[in-house]
């Protein structure tokens, strides 16, 4: 499961921090994006427009896609660093203001180093 996988298949964007690759749900490591349907009462959610965040990620997913899997989350999703044309899309989402960095979700602070 862990390693780099070069994609030839189509990518479906689920929301601003999750994609689907041939049925595999992939969660971008180290970020949290706004909820598509808004934040439920009592939850601490990333600020912003969930639809805009999803559209931003969709716009980024054009080109040569590769992923580096690093594990699974509590929901069974693959945790991974996702790159398009060699650029980490989580860093791009942060830079565009479409996601926030979550240090405690960044295994080994790898994303922090990549986004500098």
For 52-75, the pLDDT digits (tens) are 999 999 999 998 999 999 999 999
pLDDT at 1: 47
Residue 61: CB partners within 8 Å, gap ≥ 6? Answer: 11, 13, 19, 84, 89
User: What beta strand segments (E) does the chain contain?
Assistant: 3-6, 11-15, 18-21, 24-28, 31-32, 65-72, 78-84, 87-88, 100-101
Model confidence band, residue 81 (pLDDT cutoffs 50, 70, 90): very high
pLDDT at 23: 86
pTM summary value:
0.90
| Inter-residue contact 116 to 88 (CB < 8 Å) | no
Rg (CA), the chain: 13
Q: CA triplet 82, 91, 39: central angle to 5 degrees? A: 95
Average pLDDT for residues 28-46, to the nearest whole number?
A: 93
Instruction: Please name the CATH architecture into which domain 3-114 falls.
Output: Beta Barrel (2.40)
| Inter-residue contact 17 to 94 (CB < 8 Å) | no
């Amino acid at each position: 499961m862990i390693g780099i996988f070069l994609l030839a298949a189509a990518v479906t964007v689920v929301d601003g921090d999750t994609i689907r690759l041939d049925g595999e749900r992939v969660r971008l490591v180290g970020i949290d994006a706004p909820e598509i349907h808004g934040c439920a009462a009592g939850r601490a959610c990333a600020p912003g427009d969930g639809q805009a965040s999803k559209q931003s990620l969709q716009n980024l997913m054009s080109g040569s896609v590769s992923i580096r899997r690093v594990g699974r989350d509590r929901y069974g999703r693959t945790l991974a660093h996702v790159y398009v044309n060699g650029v980490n899309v989580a860093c791009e989402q942060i830079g565009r203001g479409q996601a926030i960095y979550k240090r405690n979700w960044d295994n080994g602070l790898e994303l922090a180093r990549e986004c500098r």
